[in-house]
Amino acid sequence: MGMIVKDTRIESHTIVITVDNEPGVLARVVGLFAGRGYNIESLTVAETEKAAHTSRITVVTSGTPAVIEQIKAQLGRLVPVHRVVDITTEKPGIEREMALVKVAGTGEKRVEAMRVSQVFRAKALDTTHSSFVFEITGSPSKIDAYVELMRPLGLVEVSRTGVAAISRGAEAM
Amino acid sequence: MGEGTAAAVAAKTAPEVELTGAEMVVRALKDHGVQHIFGYPGGAVLPIYDALFQDNELVHVLVRHEQGAVHAAEGYARSTGKPGVVLVTSGPGATNSVTGLTDALMDSVPLVVITGQVATHLIGNDAFQECDTIGITRPCTKHNWLVRDVRDLARVIHEAFYIATTGRPGPVVVDIPKDVQFKKAPYVAPEHITHRTYKPRLEADPEAIKSAVRMMAAAKRPVFYTGGGIINSGPEASKLLRELVHLTGFPITSTLMGLGAFPASDKQWLGPIGMHGTYEANLCANRCDLLIALGSRFDDRVTGRVDAFSPGSKKIHLDIDPSQINKNIRIDLPIVADAAHALRAMIKVWTEERLSADPALPAWWKQIEQWRGKNSLSYKNSAKLIKPQHAIDRLYALTRGRETYITTEVGQHQMWAMQRFKFEEPNHWMTSGGLGTMGYGLPAAVGVQMAHPKALVIDIAGEASVQMTLQEMSTAVQYDLPIKIFILNNEYMGMVRQWQQLLHGGRYSHSYSEALPDFVKLAEAYGAVGLRAEKPDELDAKIQEMISVNRPVLFDVRVDPHENCYPMIPSGAAHDEMILSDSEEEPEVSEEGKMMV
């Protein structure tokens, strides 16, 4: 009772937002984050139900538990938003991200890049005598680890999709 | 504002009538019961103005600046409970309305603002008077729409009214390109409007209501802390609030926005809470064991230092907007519902379970009476100078018993009006609370007077604020609106000066109103009536004259330039660290406190 005990732990949450696919809806969501000073660590958007005209926005954000609650409540106020689900707490789910990773080099580094990619089950999409483009899918932390291992092996650039998330089990979110 | 929408949206079936987009706008406004619109024409809305010209029912009020149109619509809305409607052109017409939109968003005022836009094929081309109205107004509206196809127009306008007026009310913008205004399509009449995603919740969870009422019956030191949500819910909520407060016997305070929901003449009324609230209201909030927040949002002007706000209490929070719960203050029992619905349910449980207040309540009241004894709104009057507090007291005394509506600008005069003018009914007090918009009061008075032609409408103003939208005097004269602009002229941006005195070592940087106009001559130039009072003994007669003349009046009341507004909780301080008058020591303001606005 009484004094607020401020919980200052910064947590990372994956929030799935189902929205009407209307012009400007992404700007509303992104503008809310920018305007209220919330973080966006990654953002993934695409139409998922053409007939129902809905899109799914997956945001990975971070903040104290109170800020996370505010983020969800503020998202819920946006008129075109159908649902807001916190995959991190409400509905245990699966999160995956895909990255395209370009590595250039020859000799031992090139061989090592190939070996590491096999361990991570990354797939070579483009090959020249001096470069690879690998496709890797996994949790964001797996991709982080892979990219770090590639860095000394001639990492040129990385393109990441951001997180897609879905709940476990038979039911929809 | 939960109920009433269905009635406003009563269907008028008109199958297969083809209308132009412009005609649809006029038709849809009338179908929603609109009688008055506030606007300003321009290139991109000419077709709509043409349709208005050919219509005999809608009354259009031509303002002098689009910001004035929005504030007028706000005054209209807040004094009637109906949505305010605005019509402006593209580009500068839209950008000029942004301050009003933000003001309405912060204070939950239902507005439907229609903006013209350049033709669809020109959008994105930097065309003349083009701006990204939807992009600019996205963060300052509850929702907005760009209508690219005339077949969507009627539906969007119906949706706009629905969203503006239901749930937590707010402003919406409908942006209509000029070519869409010319094109024809069948008109779709408003029927029962439902929305795919937007479904405001009105009814409270019965279990939460039961818990709340039982907490109330068990409380030893309870206090009601109510806000604008009661007024927005409609007059029924104010009635139910009175019933509940009388049933329980608890003390009640309110935010700036909530004044009038509970009568100020009632014995249980503590006066307003917050930075310039009364000693007893703030001490009650500080020492209570149960804080019952109804339609109020724990604004920083209310809480002061959040970690010292009401430290020993359990907190119940009723709000129609779930995002307000736990936003600033940790809540023990949230209730998401419309105020009238929840209050009705609370009264039912209290009566059915035959509950009564805890026997400790009289001791709590005894404590409150001691705090009241501080007489925190007292001030030293003067025979030589008009004290601003005295001017408001006389204004109140001389307007009592009349149907009086008060608007204000922003600053010291607003706080004195809040402290001293006694409101008995909801919807009679129009002020800019959240955004704190200087220049709100005069155009708001125009809107209020338009809605209540016979009433006495007074803008309690400052000489600095009033100059921000003074051009609307011309509107008042044009429409014979006998608004009274009661200027407490202290030649300073008074609140800025007060803060500079208290927080910035008396360095009065740019807060002196130099080169003031002669307000009497200015009034006359507009074709209004100008009055001036310089001495306390001429005040009453001049106020009487202001009331009796049936024309717009600018009344220049020359008040003590150095009077400060007390009581005051300095920034970053707690409710029990109020300063009551100049005679006390200068407040110690922490570095953290100085950072706060």
Please report the DSSP string for B92-130 in residue order.
Answer: HHHHHTHHHHHHHHHTT--EEEEEEE--GGGTTS--TT-
Mean pLDDT estimate for chain B: 95
* H/E segment holding residue B61: strand B59-62
As a whole number, mean pLDDT of residues B488-492 equals 98
- B284 sits in which H/E element: helix B279-287
B291 torsion bin: left (phi>0), alpha (psi -120 to 50), beta (else): beta
> Among all chains, which residue has been given the structure tokens 């005339």?
B150
Is-catalytic flag, B370? no
Q: What is the pLDDT of residues A88-116, one digit of tens each?
A: 998 888 999 999 999 999 999 999 999 99
Classify residue A8 by burial, with Cβ atoms within 10 Å: 0-12, 13-18, 19+. Answer: exposed
Strands (E), B255-313: 269-272, 290-294
- How crowded is residue B7: how many other Cβ atoms within 10 Å of its Cβ? 8
Segment B506-530 shows an average pLDDT of: 97
Confidence of residue B459 (pLDDT cuts 50, 70, 90): very high
> For chain A, what is the HEC assignment?
CCCCCCCCCCEEEEEEEEEECCCCHHHHHHHHHHHCCCCCCEEEEEEEECCCCEEEEEEEEEECHHHHHHHHHHHHHCCCEEEEEECCCCCCEEEEEEEEEEEECCCHHHHHHHHHHHHCCCEEEEEECCEEEEEEEECHHHHHHHHHHHHHHCEEEEEEEEEEEEECCCCCC
- Taking the CA of residue B495 and the nearest CA in chain A, the distance in Å comes to 27
Q: 3-state class of B443 per DSSP?
A: helix
The superfamily (CATH) of domain B388-566 is Thiamin diphosphate (ThDP)-binding fold, Pyr/PP domains (3.40.50.970)
For the range A135-139, what are the long-range contacts, defined as Cβ-Cβ under 8 Å and sequence gap of 24 or more?
Answer: A135/A98, A135/A99, A135/A100, A135/A101, A136/A98, A136/A99, A136/A101, A137/A96, A137/A97, A137/A98, A137/A99, A138/A96, A138/A97, A139/A95, A139/A96, A139/A97
Q: How far apart are CA B299 and CA B433, in angstroms?
A: 10
Cβ–Cβ gap B323/A70 under 8 Å: yes
CATH T-level assignment (fold) for domain B206-372: Rossmann fold (3.40.50)
User: Cβ B322–A74 below 8 Å, yes or no?
Assistant: no
- B interface toward A at CB cutoff 8 Å? 134-135, 138-139, 142-143, 146, 163, 195-198, 306-307, 311-314, 321-323, 325-327, 329-330, 332
CB contacts of A69 in chain B (<8 Å) are 326
The pLDDT of residue B584: 61
Place of tokens 């127009």: B153
CATH number, domain A94-167: 3.30.70.1150
Task: Assess if CATH 3.40.50.150 describes domain B5-186.
Answer: no
- pLDDT tens, position by position, A108-142: 999 999 999 999 999 999 999 999 999 999 999 99
How many angstroms separate the CA atoms of B264 and B418, rounded? Answer: 11
From B311, which residue of chain A is nearest by alpha-carbon distance? A2
Distance in angstroms (rounded) separating the CA atoms of residues A58 and A118: 29
Percent of chain B residues past pLDDT 90, beyond the cut = 91
Residues in chain A: 173
Interface of A with B in 15-34 (CB under 8 A): 19-20, 23-24, 27-28, 31
The β-bridge relationship of strands A131-138 and A93-104 is antiparallel
Min distance A67 CA to chain B CA atoms (Å):
8
Do A70 and B135 make contact, defined as CB atoms within 8 angstroms? no
Q: Decide if B198 and A79 are in contact by the 8 Å CB cutoff.
A: yes
The whole-number pLDDT of residue B5 equals 35
Task: Determine the average pLDDT of the residues in B517-530.
Answer: 98
Which residues from chain A sit within 8 angstroms of residue B195, using beta carbons? 79
Mean pLDDT of B90-103: 98
The per-residue pLDDT for A92 is 84
Of B198, B311, B323, the CB nearest to A73: B323
The answer to whether B484 and B550 have CB atoms below 8 angstroms apart is no
User: Do residue A73 and residue B322 have CB atoms under 8 angstroms apart?
Assistant: yes
pLDDT at B13 over 60: no
Reply yes or no on whether the pLDDT at B295 is more than 80.
yes
pLDDT per position as a tens digit, B263-291? 999 999 999 999 999 999 999 999 999 99
Q: Which two tokens stand for residue B392?
A: 């408001």
Would the CB atoms of A3 and B314 count as touching at under 8 Å? Answer: no
Is-catalytic flag, B595?
A: no
Interface touch B163/A79, C-beta < 8 Å: yes
Distance from CA of B163 to the nearest CA of A (A): 8
Average pLDDT over chain A reads 94
Nearest CA in chain B to A68: B327
How far apart CA B320 and CA B342 sit, in angstroms, is 10
Of A4, A27, A82, the CB nearest to B138: A27
Query: Taking the domains of chain A in order of start, what are their residue ranges?
Result: 11-91, 94-167
Q: Are B571 and B589 in contact (CB under 8 A)?
A: yes
Superfamily of chain region A11-91: ACT domain (3.30.70.260)
Which residues in chain B touch residue A26, judged by CB atoms under 8 angstroms apart?
A: none
What stretch of H or E contains B533? strand B529-533
Cβ–Cβ < 8 Å for B446, B475 = yes
**Is B128 in the active site?**
yes
| B9 and B162 Cβ atoms separated by less than 8 Å | yes
What's the maximum distance between 2 C-alpha atoms anywhere in chain A? 68
pLDDT at B555 over 90: yes
Residues B270, B253 contacting (CB under 8 angstroms) = yes
Instruction: Decide if pLDDT at B292 tops 80.
Output: yes
Residues from chain A that touch B307, judged by Cβ atoms under 8 A, are 3-4, 6
Tell me: the pLDDT tens digits for B228-242?
999 999 999 999 999
Q: How far is CA B567 from CA A150, B279, B502, B581, B585, in A?
A: 65, 7, 13, 7, 13
- Tell me what pLDDT residue B504 has: 93
pLDDT at B320 (0 to 100): 98
User: Is B366 a residue of the active site?
Assistant: no
Distance CA B24, CA B151 (A): 10
Write the pLDDT tens digit of every residue in B392-445: 999 999 999 999 999 999 999 999 999 999 999 999 999 999 999 999 999 999
Structure confidence at residue A5 (pLDDT):
53
Summarize pLDDT for B181-216 with one digit per residue, the tens. 999 999 999 987 778 899 999 999 999 999 999 999
| Rounded CA separation B443/B441 (Å) | 6
Query: Which SS3 state, helix, strand or coil, does residue B16 take?
Result: coil
Residues 6 or more apart whose Cβ sits within 8 Å of residue B343: B237, B240, B241, B243, B244, B294
Sign of CA dihedral A142, A145, A147, A153: negative
Residues of B in contact with A3 (CB under 8 A): 307, 311
pLDDT, residue B588, reads 67
Residue/partner pairs of B262-266 with CB below 8 Å, 24 or more apart: B262/B226, B262/B238, B263/B423, B263/B424, B263/B425, B264/B422, B264/B423, B264/B424, B265/B422, B265/B424, B266/B242
Residue B61 sits at φ, ψ, to 5 deg, of -105, 115
Structure tokens at B578: 């109020």
pLDDT(B136) > 70? yes
Residues 53-92 of A with CB under 8 A from B: 66, 69-70, 73-74, 76-77, 79-82
Rounded distance, CA B203 to CA B2, Å?
A: 10
Tell me if the pTM is above 0.80.
yes
Q: Is the pLDDT of residue B586 over 80?
A: no
Q: Residue B284: what pLDDT?
A: 97
Per-residue model confidence (pLDDT) at position A1? 37
Residue closest to B154 by CA, chosen among B23, B12, B24: B24
Two tokens, residue B477: 């004269």
Token readout for B365 is 């009241």
pLDDT recorded at residue A6: 66
Could you tell me the residue ranges of all domains in chain B? 5-186, 206-372, 388-566
**B342 vs B316: CA distance, rounded Å:** 12
Residue of chain A minimizing CA distance to B167: A77
Could you write out the DSSP letters of every residue in B185-229?
Answer: EEPPPP-S---SS-----SPPHHHHHHHHHHHHH-SSEEEEE-HH
pLDDT of residue A2: 40
Average pLDDT over residues B8-28: 75
Identify whether the C-beta of residue B466 lies closer than 8 Å to the C-beta of residue B411: no
* Inter-chain residue contact B323 with A79, CB threshold 8 Å: no
User: d(Cα B51, Cα B184) in Å, to the nearest integer?
Assistant: 13
Q: Do A2 and B312 touch (CB under 8 A)?
A: yes
**Cα within 13 Å of Cα(B525), Cβ side:** 8
B30 labelled catalytic = no
Q: Does pLDDT of A75 surpass 60?
A: yes
Q: How far does B8 lie from chain A, in Å, by closest CA?
A: 21
DSSP B309-349: SSTT-EEEEEES-GGGTTSSS--SEEEES-HHHHHHHHHHH
pLDDT band per the 50, 70, 90 thresholds, residue B16: low
Nearest chain A CA: its distance from B135 CA (Å) = 8
